[in-house]
Amino acid sequence: MMEEVKETASVLSVHDDSIKVTEVLKDGDTLTFIIVSQKLSGTGEYHVDRTYEDFEWLQQHLFSQGDVPGIQGVIFPPLPAKPQVNASPRSIKQLGFLALGECQPYCKALETFLQQVAAHSILSKNKAVEVFLTSSDPPGRQKVKKNIFNRLSQAVEEMRKEGHKDVDEFFQNERDHNLVLTGCTKTAAEKFLDVVATEQKIAVACGHFSTALHLCVEPGEDPDKQAFSRVCVKLSEVFESIKKNMTSVAENNVNTLGLGLDLESRYQEAEREMLFRRTCKLVELENARRNVEKAKPVKKAAMEEVKKAAETEFEHTSGVAKQEIARFQGARVEMLQQALVGWCEKQLLTAKESADQFNQHLEVFRGMA
């Protein structure tokens, strides 16, 4: 993928994999993200600050590039939902993993989004990407309502067209499969989120317990009392490390598999959207064909033209879509594998560290006897 980008996209002057969202600045209700990327030429870096609105602007530009054939067949890298400073429970639920922690997961998600866009053979050619990544001026802060409107209308149409029978078995299969996977991934991500949330709760509870144990310490010279105090203090330390263990387990979960599942589920969404767009084109084309058949001779030529246009568009879309799907399947397996391996390694490390720590505590306790 990357190779391809380099060959074709001289437009983009940065390394796609060097794009980082390094920092997030909070100013009232708006969050500003600092994006750093390395120049292809030389060693310099671009530093730009972007708000979420800028990201929306970018995505909108990507959606609406009419001049690219088969753009509807592209699986657009999904942009995470808008972050909330004072998040309501609903928006937290919508954000899922990205709402956890101190914005790091969210930054990571944005970073992935940008990298995916920059690495995309078609999307990276868009001027907007270059502008977004390199221009020191914020690209258009005007609100783009269209995107939301699009999605809304889509939701209505969806009901009608989602079930439309496909002419191509490949796409029919892909659609069915995507439907199942989307559901499964979503549930899995949600459940995993629950696990993480509980782990965080446990960590907090351990912290409380540890603090409370510290209060049990009784002053006094009495050796019995001192012995008990020692036990309390030590136990408090034990719970402190249990807390640390839990916290890092939860963190690992979020940063690896959590993000992975989240991305996967958003990507499945994106694929579904793409497939839907293609289905819409298919419906359009079928309508055009019917129109041609039904059309009066006077209008036949015009209809024929419309049909032709629709046909080419559909073919383009299908062609791109096929490529995209193939690419996506490879990419997501790789992504999931990375997530799983990273997760496993991190958890293993944490478990080993904790085991070490517990062992030390245990030795101390045994020594106390």
Question: Contact positions toward another protein, by CB under 8 A?
Answer: 177, 180-181, 184-185, 187-188, 190-192, 194-195, 198-199, 201-202, 205-206, 208-209, 212-213, 215-216, 218, 224-225, 227-228, 231-232, 234-235, 238, 242, 329, 333-334, 336-337, 340-341, 343-345, 347-348, 351-352, 354-355, 358-359, 361-362, 365-366, 368-369
Site of tokens 């916290």: 247
Q: Which of 152, 167, 365 is nearest to 279 (CA)?
A: 167
Minimal distance in Å, beta carbon 82 to another protein? 27
| Distance from C-alpha of 77 to C-alpha of 273, rounded to nearest angstrom | 11
Minimal distance in Å, beta carbon 182 to another protein? 10
Structure tokens at 139: 């690209």
Structure tokens at 303: 């209809």
Minimal distance in Å, beta carbon 175 to another protein? 13
Minimal distance in Å, beta carbon 22 to another protein? 29
Instruction: For another protein, give the closer residue by CB, 46 or 228.
Output: 228
Amino acid identity for residue 47 in this structure: H
Instruction: For another protein, give the closer residue by CB, 134 or 229.
Output: 229
Minimal distance in Å, beta carbon 274 to another protein? 17
Amino acid identity for residue 290 in this structure: R
Instruction: For another protein, give the closer residue by CB, 85 or 348.
Output: 348
| Distance from C-alpha of 313 to C-alpha of 295, rounded to nearest angstrom | 21
Encode 305-314: b = buried (16+ Cβ within 10 Å), e = exposed.
ebbeebeebb
| Distance from C-alpha of 237 to C-alpha of 235, rounded to nearest angstrom | 5
Instruction: For another protein, give the closer residue by CB, 11 or 180.
Output: 180
Q: What share of the chain is helix, strand, coil (3-state, %, to 5)?
A: 75, 5, 20
The number of residues making up the chain comes to 369
Instruction: For another protein, give the closer residue by CB, 29 or 224.
Output: 224
Minimal distance in Å, beta carbon 141 to another protein? 40
Minimal distance in Å, beta carbon 192 to another protein? 5
Instruction: For another protein, give the closer residue by CB, 40 or 202.
Output: 202
Instruction: For another protein, give the closer residue by CB, 138 or 207.
Output: 207
Structure tokens at 28: 């009232």
**DSSP string spanning 51-99?**
EHHHHHHHHHHHHT-TTSTTGGGS-PPPPPPPP-TT--HHHHHHHGGGG
End-to-end CA distance of the chain, in Å?
63
Instruction: For another protein, give the closer residue by CB, 99 or 257.
Output: 257
Instruction: For another protein, give the closer residue by CB, 263 or 303.
Output: 263
Q: Which of 174, 159, 153 is nearest to 332 (CA)?
A: 174
CB-CB contact of 239 with 205 (8 Å):
no
Instruction: For another protein, give the closer residue by CB, 118 or 238.
Output: 238
Minimal distance in Å, beta carbon 102 to another protein? 22
Minimal distance in Å, beta carbon 283 to another protein? 26
Minimal distance in Å, beta carbon 188 to another protein? 4
Looking at the DSSP bridge assignments, the partners of residue 36 are 20, 47
DSSP 217: P
CB-CB contact of 214 with 230 (8 Å):
no
Measuring CA to CA, how many Å separate 346 from each of 1, 2, 91, 354? 28, 28, 29, 12
Looking at the DSSP bridge assignments, the partners of residue 23 are 34
